[in-house]
Amino acid sequence: MFDVLKIRQDFPILSREVNGKPLVYLDNGASAQKPQVVIDAVTRGYAEEYANVHRGLHYLSNLATDKYEAVRDVIARFLGAQDAQEIVYTTGTTMGINLVSYGWGIPNLQAGDEIILSVLEHHANIVPWHFLRERQGVVIKWVDCDATGALDPQAVIDAITPKTKLIAVTQMSNVTGTVVDVKSICHAAREHGVAVLVDGSQASVHMPVNVEDLGCDFYAITGHKLYGPSASGAIWIRKERMAQMQPFMGGGDMIREVSKDAITWNDAPMKFEAGTPGIVQQIGLGVALDYMMQQGMENIAAHEAGLRDYAMSKLAGLNWLQVQGTTPDKGAIFSFTMDGAGHAHDISTILDKKGVAVRAGQHCAEPLMTHMGLNATCRASFAMYNTTEEVDKLVEALELAHDLFA
């Protein structure tokens, strides 16, 4: 049974007050709060178990190495991957996508080759491809969403040409909550010999993921959205693609031998993991993913779908509020503007006075904002620990803001 009130007790920050009001934390799309088991794991990692990994023969180094490496199996299980050696540790999705841009894109793409992006993408899935456009002459092709925020997978597939080498697409928009049918895109792309990178930063938090079923080549996740520590994350890379990649950074465990005249790389995935890693952060991520899987990803998805439907019905009753992205199967993410409000920052400031934490701005998705004809929006993004009562508090705070602006 999914008991949201019991789950809330696992997150100590949710019991605090902000501006004299009970905290209503609705900025989960930016970063999620941490359960006590993750906080305890991080504290224990630094206080009782810390040592560098892979390099020592003493007890603490062996303990840290075993716990650190065990997280690959947890991530593989979480993503439905068959081989934990296809999991590369990163500091988050941004690093993962940059790894693909530098490590796979530079040696495999040349001037005139095409990368297809959707207008829904986060800057982390845009800027690394601009590096290839500027430095190697790669062509970026854009596919727009419709007025509801939906992205037609066939439009992406139809954009494929003989010069297309990569499709980079989000599975869930961090602005509109749009869920993209990446499976159809991946399977069609494979028939054309085109690689697909999926940005799973949002989707992996809210729904079950199986990378083998999706058929993608790269799948990136970020720990801080997954109830884990900041600066933790991973990218799943299909073995065939790993074999086509060069190292992104040099040093540490990514080498096998170093001489004055030559170097020999370590085997993947360590080939792509230079320097001393975020040991405790990755251990904390493993605990966070275990926690999510104990709750059941299907249960989390069902709970959040209920929150989405309840919030949509409540927000629809505010005729002075414009919600961006209205696809029926979207995630529990709501970006909105308000009649009479000067700027999204003004709305968020008033909501904060009522203890309601939302995001305001362009949400690192400027091309999407331009496509929608907006400068900024407020965004309320829900997590497994949010409740319908918190939706009501959001609505009450929005009504107050509207009254003030009116």
Enumerate the active-site residues. Answer: 364
Q: Is 61 exposed, middle or buried (0-12, 13-18, 19+ CB in 10 A)?
A: middle
Which residues contact residue 33 at a Cβ distance below 8 angstroms, ignoring those fewer than 6 apart?
11, 13, 14, 25, 227, 383, 385
Q: Which residue has the tokens 């999914």?
A: 2
Angle, alpha carbons 76-77-79 (nearest 5°): 65
Angle, alpha carbons 208-209-212 (nearest 5°): 145
Concatenated DSSP letters of 104-167 = IIHHH--TT-EEEEETT--GGGTHHHHHHHHHH-PEEEEE---TTS---HHHHHHT--TTEEEE
Q: Is 26 exposed, middle or buried (0-12, 13-18, 19+ CB in 10 A)?
A: buried
Q: Which residues of 70-106 are buried (b: 16+ CB within 10 A; e: fewer)?
A: ebbebbbebbebeebbbbbbbbbbbbbbbbbbbbbbb
User: What is the chain's length?
Assistant: 406
Concatenated DSSP letters of 81-106 = -S-GGGEEEESSHHHHHHHHIIIIIH
The residue type at 124: A
The residue type at 250: G
Asked whether the beta carbons of 247 and 337 are under 8 A apart, the reply is no
